[in-house]
Structure 1
Amino acid sequence: MAKKAGTKEATKKVARKAPPPELQPLQVHLYDVQGKIVGTVDLPPVFATDLRTDLIRRAVTAFASNRRQPYGSAPRAGMRHSVRWSGKGQGVSRVPRIRGTMIGAQAPGTVGGRQAHPPVTARIWGKKVNAKERRWARNAALAAIRDPQVVGARGHRFSSKTTVPVVVQDALEEIESVSEAVEFLEAVGVYDDVARAKAGVHVRQGRGKMRGRRFRRPRGPLLVVRDSAKVRQGFGNLPGVEVTTPAGLNAEVLAPGGDPGRLTIFSASALEALRGWAA
């Protein structure tokens, strides 16, 4: 009887999942909103651009510089003293002094005195970048997001089975609730990066926490969709997650802080919008 049972077990057919299709260069898997592989997608030629970290950082620095607000000290700061100057040849240093005392005032280096070279509002903080360099920096940042090693080196956490960038069917753009958004991120294997961003929120050091910048928040996944109206409702409040459109892509969004390799999720139609971009 044992022998017959063994033969029956041997004849049972074990259902096996079909292996995922083999990928060619510049190819990634196409996922559905349940995280299942439904095919492959050829990345646009712009993803074959050479990685130029120097151009990326130059463009990101320009973005940050152009947001700076000019500032300066009050025109008469440090000059509100009634001082006298005794002139030369008195055997004491030639410093303006408060009348009736020997206390130096008003001059740089004295208590309550003016600054030697104070900041002025006329200073131009903005930086210019050539249009071709700015486009090249954006394209180089796009090329970096398809390399799993570069994305991992930036600190992002995702499943080793997930291909980057993550390309999903257009049903992604119909997700409106936060619960559906979390289920989707878990299904495609990138929710660990959201958890990393949430755990990394901390109080900033220095005076910035008194000036509206109290917390530092790590950057998490970037979602690129054709229509972001619905998607923002589901993904907009998740820690570290940003939602944008192909028109909103630039070096700073794709490489925050000038470090290339941000974990990025594309909808299929948003990826197709990049086909016309020159490499």
Structure 2
Amino acid sequence: MGLKDVPRRAPCCSVFWRASPRGVVPLSCTGRAAGSPPGRRKTDQFTKNRFPQDPSRQTPAPIDQRTSVMASRPVVNVRSTSGQSSSTIPLPAVFTAPIRNDVVQDIHKNLAKNKRQAYAVSSKAGEQTSAESWGTGRAVARIPRVGGGGTHRSGQAAFGNMCRGGRMFAPTKIWRKWHVKTNLKQRRYAIVSAIAATAVPSLVLARGHRIEKIAEVPLVVADEVESISKTKEAVAILKTLKAHSDVVKVSNSRKTRAGKGKMRGRRYRQRRGPLVIYNEDKGIVRAFRNIPGVELVCVHRLNLLQLAPGGHIGRFCIWTQGAFAQLDELYGTYDKPATLKKDFSLPVSKVSNADITRVINSDEIQSVLRPAGPSRVKRPFTQKKNPLKNRALLFRLNPYAKVLIRNETLKQAKNLKAKAAAEAKKGTKKMVPAGEKFLSTLQAP
């Protein structure tokens, strides 16, 4: 089955993420087109190690069967307060947007800085004393010293960050850059990715939410939930929807904070529970606000800090029907831009099929690749040989070096032979015995 047989959908990656055995991972690649010049085909060993062949991939099933029910269904069931399916609603296009975990983490980090409170030490701290240096010649350091007498403090060093009672190095100032301005399009992109991640059960489970008994994700309830105002009724609805186990998890996780924060209004810390997203507040905020871990937000005020606490995507969200229906107007579809946001369209993924193994092994890609060449095993831990000393390596790098070396050897042998012949032709000089006259000059008178 080739790529031509794969049914096409809107350009998004999340449609195929549930089918990946390695989890939901955003992918982007720039593949070679079928009509482009062929490249070198990877070796069989490389393909086997990097893209293991699953028996289920030998004969790929149709895409609709391999994807999850969540990603391929066109509608979502609307649950009543009794937990039964009362109607259906189309799945907004924002849930098929690409999930960019890197964008969510980066934007969350910048947005979380905007609620920081400035802190600094007193500008006078450590310098509220009269001290002057004694200068040189006193056999002490030239640090300023407290004057006066009658106390141990006199003569002690002051002001320096190495001194007792001195100021700190580079005292902190309140005009530090505490807040970070974030691009509006980046914030919207991060929110769209966080919303799309709430519809992937594997990501919601990976974040720690207890949704094993939930009927489906995303979970949509009827608009009559917005009219309740009693917490007792809200807890009953959560139990009916099988979502109360996530609240129990939050209650059991309540622990006393370690450190000084427990003295500063942050005595306890606990997990996050469900996020209830509504369209109109007719009492729903009053009903749910006192349940541990449960947070509420209007669909027109969606916040990345609540959709992805800590920068971790996949929060368990409970949508009301009215809020769920507003998503196409807020974020648009792949056919039309958003109507409630200015100049915003849903982001498009780099690839429409995130099953990269299937793309690489398809007939369209394999037909334009050259056959695999001989495998080469690199030995990185062997000692490097010097070709100037190792003749075998030298001849492998430069085969003509063998001819050069032989010519040089023959030339040297020829020179030696010519030198020997010249010396033989010249002959040896005969030794003449010294005469008596010469010997007499060597003797003392």
The answer to whether the superposition gives a TM-score over 0.5 is yes
- For residue 112 of structure 2, the aligned residue among 55, 64, 74 is 64
The offset of 1:195, in angstroms, is 0.8
2:328 aligned counterpart, secondary structure: coil
Q: Cα distance, 1:253 vs. partner?
A: 1.4
Q: 1:26 to 1:194 in 2, by over 3 A?
A: farther
Q: Which residue of 2 aligns with 1:48?
A: 96
The structural deviation recorded for 1:163 is 1.1
Give the one of 57, 69, 78 matched to 2:126.
78
Q: Is the contact made by 1:45 and 1:275 (CA closer than 8 Å) also made in structure 2?
A: yes
Contact 1:158 1:191 in 2 (8 A): no
How many Å separate the matches in 1 of 2:165 and 2:91?
A: 62
Q: Deviations over 1:151-173 (max 9, x none)?
A: 01111112344211210111111
Which of the two has higher C-alpha Rg? 2
> CA offset at residue 198 of structure 1?
1.2
Partner Cα separation in structure 2 for residue 69 and residue 234 of structure 1: 31
Question: How is 1:225-236 mapped onto 2 (pairs within 5 angstroms)?
Answer: 225-236=278-289
Q: Secondary structure at the match of 1:28?
A: strand
What is aligned with 1:162? 215
Stretches of structure 2 that go unaligned for 5 or more consecutive residues are 1-68, 333-345, 347-445
Alpha-carbon deviations, 1:103-160, whole Å to 9, x = none? 2222111111101111101112101111110000000000010011100111111234
CA contact (8 A) 1:84 1:96 kept: yes
Which residue, 283, 297, 302 being the options, matches 1:249? 302
Structure 1 CA distance for aligned equivalents of residues 74 and 164 of structure 2: 65
Aligned residue runs from structure 1 range 153-232, under 5 A: 153-232=206-285
Coordinate RMSD, CA, aligned: 1.7
TM-score by length of 1: 0.87
Q: Which residue of 2 aligns with 1:38?
A: 86
Question: Given the alignment of the two structures, is residue 113 of structure 1 paired with residue 113 of structure 2, yes or no?
Answer: no
Give the deviation of 1:178 after TM superposition.
1.4
User: What is the TM-score when the length of structure 2 is the normalising length?
Assistant: 0.55
2 CA distance for matches of 1:27 and 1:88? 86
How far apart in 2 are the matches of 1:117 and 1:73? Answer: 10
CA distance in structure 1 between the partners assigned to 2:82 and 2:310 by the alignment: 32
The DSSP-based 3-state class of the residue aligned with 2:323 is: helix
- Which whole-Å deviations, capped at 9, do the CAs of 1:221-251 have from their partners, x for residues lacking one? 0111111240012111000111111111021
Is the 1:26–1:48 contact (alpha carbons within 8 Å) kept by the matching residues of 2? no
Structure 1 residue 239 corresponds to structure 2 residue 292: yes
The more displaced of 60-69 and 142-151 is 60-69
2:193 pairs, out of 115, 140, 150, with 140
Deviates more, 1:31-40 or 1:145-154: 31-40
> Does structure 2 conserve the Cα–Cα contact (< 8 Å) formed by 1:236 and 1:243?
yes
* CA distance 1:210–1:161, change in 2 (3 Å): closer
What is the CA deviation profile of residues 182-215 of structure 1, one whole-angstrom value per residue up to 9, with x for unaligned ones?
A: 1110111110011111111222121222222222
Q: SS at 2:245's partner residue? A: helix
Residue 275 of structure 1 pairs with residue 328 of structure 2: yes
Find runs of 4+ consecutive structure 1 residues off by over 4 angstroms.
Answer: none
Distance in 2 (alpha carbons) for counterparts of 1:119 and 1:167: 49
CA displacement, residues 13-64 of structure 1 (integer Å, 9 cap, x when unaligned): xxxxxxxxx7643543321111112343322111111111222122222222
- Measure how far apart 1:257 and its partner are: 1.1
Alpha-carbon contact 1:151-1:261 (below 8 Å) kept = yes
SS of the equivalent of 1:81 reads coil
In the other structure, the counterpart of 2:135 is 87
Task: Describe the shift of the 1:230–1:44 C-alpha distance in structure 2 as closer, same or farther (beyond 3 A).
Answer: same
For 1:275, what is the secondary structure of its paired residue? helix
Task: Give aligned pairs, total.
Answer: 258
Q: 1:122 aligns with which of 165, 168, 175?
A: 175
- SS at 2:327 equivalent: coil
Does the CA-based 8 Å contact 2:227-2:281 persist in structure 1? no
The offset of 1:98, in angstroms, is 2.3
